[in-house]
Structure 1
Amino acid sequence: MKDNTVILHTAALALLPLQLLFSVFLLLRGHDEPGGGFIAGLVGAGAVVLYLFAHGVDATRRIMRFDPRDLLGIGLFLGTVSAFPALLRGEPFLSAQWWIFDLAGTEIKLSTVLVFDIGVYFAVVGTILTVVVSLTEAEE
């Protein structure tokens, strides 16, 4: 990774937060329009992979502050947990459940669909980063 240019280093630093922010936008937008957990996870993982290619595994592990396999586990857990509220209410497995909260005059809607999408997001990011980081470490 030492052969990279200054342009790649600078671009990776500038694009990382923008790509991560865009991935969150895609995640939250995905319920009504194109997007969702899978494509948002691909964009988020792509941001970290670009940083990895520019700065190496050690620098990437420092900015991640966690093991990608933990993200994969959290994603699988959230995806599984999102299925049970429907069963508790006597509805079919994975039926969408909505909760509406009034917070200081602002209506906030939460759903099991969002929990499932967040789980997919974490699972995709965790899977891709686990594979790419492992391959990069094996290469070094």
Structure 2
Amino acid sequence: MHSTILSLSTRYLAPLLIGLSLIVLYRGHNMPGGGFIGGLIAASAVLLRSLAIKWDAAKKTIPLPPTVLMSVGLMLAMASGLPALIDGDSFLTSRWLPTFTVPLLGDVKLGTPLLFDVGVYFTVIGFTLKCAIALATESDS
């Protein structure tokens, strides 16, 4: 069953949710939960969009398969600990680049915690989509 209201509202709500997920991802990289919560928000945007259109069409709009997203995410999270190991410190010890200023954003601080959170972000999106696809496939049969 197709819902016109859901389809129209999702057209505007899904990009807002993706933007919010990126804000939460960046804002939380120096605090707990940025990548995880951001990934859940992004996955909910994709799932909301898939409710508005047919599931087969929604699967085609996902740029990468969920297993690839999970694999890339796990590799990024693991790679975030390597700079500390190379320097002789404990795995996942933070490393920071020099702070720089961006006109609309202000001071930007980048480091390995952001890389770890981006890895978690991709892993959560991939896992959530994989579960949704498995549930949708089982309910179709």
- Normalised by the size of structure 1, how large is the TM-score? 0.87
Matches of 1:37 and 1:102, distance apart in 2: 22
CA shift for structure 1 position 50: 0.8
Which whole-Å deviations, capped at 9, do the CAs of 1:38-86 have from their partners, x for residues lacking one?
Answer: 0001100001111112212222122212211111111000011111110
Which residue of structure 2 aligns with residue 91 of structure 1? Answer: 89
Which whole-Å deviations, capped at 9, do the CAs of 1:16-51 have from their partners, x for residues lacking one?
Answer: 111001000000000356750000011000011111
Q: For 1:5, which of 3, 6, 23 is the aligned residue?
A: 3
Matches of 1:107 and 1:36, distance apart in 2: 18
Is 1:128 equivalent to 2:128 in the alignment? Answer: yes
Q: Please, what is the CA RMSD of the aligned residues?
A: 2.3
Q: What are the equivalent positions in structure 2 for 1:1-140 lying under 5 Å apart?
A: 3-32=1-30, 35-100=33-98, 109-140=109-140
Identity %: 38
Matches of 1:9 and 1:91, distance apart in 2: 51
- Consecutive unaligned residues of structure 2, counting only runs of 5 or more, are none
> Helix, strand or coil for the counterpart of 2:97?
strand
Q: Check conservation: 2:30, 2:114, Cα contact below 8 A.
A: no
Moved more, 36-45 or 106-115: 106-115
Q: Check conservation: 1:57, 1:137, Cα contact below 8 A.
A: no
- Consecutive unaligned residues of structure 1, counting only runs of 5 or more, are none
- How many correspondences in the alignment? 138
